[in-house]
């Protein structure tokens, strides 16, 4: 059953068009702009949200992947997505990457990759 319980659930509807998802994406966008000094405007559309964008760095696409994974998880559990839960998932993703980087002595590389988005990854 789609979040909104109205439209047919196409992939495009689930991840973009749905009137439950649009406010969630808007909240996500506001959070990113608020936390990242390097991003003044986050210009997401259906295509860049679905397929990624080169505008905001590699790690931003990873965050978009995490966001879509989270939306899908909510759909499977029949729960409405919440930004706070997504924030937790993004921090968890970063912590996993950090522990891998530590073991491989690649912490500097990790920090430089994540640097523009660092404030999305810490509480
Ligand atoms: Zn819907």
- 94-109 pLDDT per residue, tens: 999 999 999 999 999 9
Query: For residue 43, what pLDDT is reported?
Result: 87
Question: What's the gap in Å between 73 CA and the centre of ligand 1?
Answer: 15
Question: What's the gap in Å between 79 CA and the centre of ligand 1?
Answer: 13
pLDDT band at 7 (very low <50, low <70, confident <90, very high): confident
Query: For residue 77, what pLDDT is reported?
Result: 93
pTM, to two decimals = 0.93
Question: What's the gap in Å between 12 CA and the centre of ligand 1?
Answer: 10
Distances (CA, A) of 106 to 79, 101, 103, 111, 114: 37, 5, 8, 9, 12
Question: What's the gap in Å between 81 CA and the centre of ligand 1?
Answer: 12
Which residues crowd ion ligand 1, with CB under 5 Å?
A: 2, 4, 7, 18
- 59-92 pLDDT per residue, tens: 999 999 999 999 999 999 999 999 999 999 999 9
């Amino acid at each position: 059953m789609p979040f909104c319980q109205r439209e047919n659930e196409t992939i495009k509807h689930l991840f973009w068009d749905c009137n439950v998802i649009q406010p969630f994406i808007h909240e996500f966008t506001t959070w990113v702009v608020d936390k990242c000094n390097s991003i003044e405007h986050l210009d997401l559309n259906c295509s860049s949200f679905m397929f990624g964008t080169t505008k905001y760095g590699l790690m931003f696409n990873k965050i978009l992947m995490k966001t879509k994974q989270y939306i899908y998880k909510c759909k499977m559990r029949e729960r409405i997505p919440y930004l706070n839960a997504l924030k937790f998932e993004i921090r968890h993703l970063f912590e996993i990457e950090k522990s891998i980087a530590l073991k491989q002595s690649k912490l500097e590389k990790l920090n430089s990759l994540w640097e523009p988005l660092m404030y999305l990854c810490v509480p």
